[in-house]
Amino acid sequence: MRETETLSPVLPDALEEATRRLLAKACERTLVLATAESCTGGMLASLLTDVQGVAHVFDRGFVTYSEAAKTEMLGVSAALIAARGAVSREVATAMAEGALSRSRANIALAITGFADTGEEPGLVHFACARNGRITAHREAHFGPVGRGATRIAALAVAVEMMTEML
């Protein structure tokens, strides 16, 4: 029986299991998680709050789809976005660090990318920040697989990165 509810019809079993492991480990270590999402539109936050009994390790999610939202909610510099582009290593890093500083979380994961349009469909940048550690970055090229497939693939990378940051 699946233990998530909202996204379970579309989640691969391996992603659901990885999410349960991430939340259990965060719970064991009393670590709190936050997200800053653009192209996934809050799907990671939804996934992290879908598992009963351990979702309390999630503090908050920032859905910052527009450049203005990235600036206003996460403190990402408008000049940085103009210089590097909203879909870049630098902006993903600034998003993760902004989410960390604007929450009660110990670990924050940011996702920004082109789900199905833009310069390179399927290009997604991830950053994972943790207090006292260097912010990790990963770049994925999922290809022109479509919006839904890119978003599900991004969730798997995000869960993996957060688990590694534990």
pLDDT for position 8: 65
Q: pTM of this prediction? A: 0.94
Of the chain, the percentage scoring pLDDT greater than 70 comes to: 95
Is the predicted pLDDT of residue 69 greater than 80, yes or no? yes
Q: What is the pLDDT of residues 29-54, one digit of tens each?
A: 999 999 999 999 999 999 999 888 88
The number of angstroms, rounded, from the C-alpha of 63 to the middle of its chain's C-alpha atoms is: 10
Superfamily per CATH, domain 13-146+155-165: CinA-like (3.90.950.20)
- Residue 3 pLDDT > 60, yes or no? no
Task: Compute the average pLDDT of residues 4-9.
Answer: 60
- Going by C-alpha positions, the residue among 36, 44, 164, 144 that lies closest to residue 91 is 36
Query: What share of the chain in percent tops pLDDT 90?
Result: 86
Determine the Cα angle at 75 with ends 74 and 77, to 5°: 130
Helix intervals (H) in the chain: 13-28, 43-48, 67-74, 78-84, 89-101, 147-165
Query: What are the pLDDT digits (tens) for 82-107?
Result: 999 999 999 999 999 999 999 999 99
Average of per-residue pLDDT values in the chain: 93
Give the pLDDT of residue 117.
83
Boundaries of every domain in the chain: 13-146+155-165
Q: Please name the amino acid found at residue 49.
A: T
- Please state the rounded mean pLDDT for residues 119-130: 96
Distance CA 81, CA 141 (A): 20
**Distance between CA atoms of 51 and 83, rounded to whole angstroms?**
39
